[in-house]
Amino acid sequence: MNLINGLLSLFYPTQCGNCKRYIKDFKYLYVCPECFELIKKIKKPVCEICSKPIDSVYTNMCLECVQYEKKFKYVKQAGIYDGALKELIHLLKFYGKKRVAEVLFKFIIENIEFEYINWSDLIVPVPLSKKVLKQRGFNQTEIIGRKIADYAKKPFLNVIKKIKETQPQNKLSREERMKNLHGVFNTDVSFKNKKVLIIDDVYTTGATMNEMAEVLLKNGALEVRGLTVARSV
């Protein structure tokens, strides 16, 4: 969505953020139902650790998870970071369309089994740095995480701090991402013997999830799992 589209939508009916056709049915707010229906789900077979789609029947883990042991036990994602799902995440994150969080929350609970969420003793969101939080005004992951916690009647602990600024991860290599994120999260809170579910918006290499899990385990967590809205493949 560019500025012209943004201005036009003030005077004209809203265009779908994905296909640009005018929306007649606002069930999914800023994307049309046709595009929403086309959101790609995570189809099996997938890596049993990180849910990456795999095409081999000879293994149940992806190469990344075989090569690099993860601090979290599992991570699941509700859909593929593409099309209308990517657009909705952008609208929430970069255009401040906070109502989109409800659409994404519903998408998660429709595509992730309740047992996976209900396993946890408590839920924590991936934090933003102070600077980004100030610029954006809200943490999209916190909004979604809180809805999931309310839904599953779990305590929601927004107590992990991001203590360093990081470069955007998307243009970095695997090694650079790891380095970029190392030691960025911190907390004083004890998670002794707790089963913790981390919520994030997009899962890419797992560097963020891994760093979060490391901090939680260091603070006593029994086991850590992750859940994100989307996975970029």
Minimum Å distance from CB 22 to Zn ion?
A: 9
Select from 42, 144, 142 the least CA-distant residue to 88: 144
String of DSSP letters for 171-219: GS-HHHHHHHHTT-EE-----TT-EEEEEEEEESSSHHHHHHHHHHHHT
**By the rule CB under 5 A, 39 interacts with Zn ion:** no
Q: Which of residues 22 and 114 has its CB atom nearest to Zn ion in the complex?
A: 22
Residues 180-219 close enough to bind Zn ion by CB under 5 A: none
Assign 165 to helix, strand or coil.
Answer: coil
Choose which of 15, 39, 42, 52 interacts with Zn ion (CB under 5 A): 52
Binding mask 72-91 for Zn ion (x = CB under 5 A): --------------------
Task: Give first-to-last CA distance, the chain, whole Å.
Answer: 23
**By the rule CB under 5 A, 16 interacts with Zn ion:** yes
**By the rule CB under 5 A, 49 interacts with Zn ion:** yes
Residues 18-37 close enough to bind Zn ion by CB under 5 A: 18-19, 32, 35
Reported in sequence order, the residue ranges of the chain that DSSP labels E, i.e. its strands, are 74-80, 122-125, 161-162, 185-186, 195-203, 223-231
- Which parts of this chain interact with Zn ion (CB under 5 A)? 16, 18-19, 32, 35, 47, 49-50, 52, 62, 65
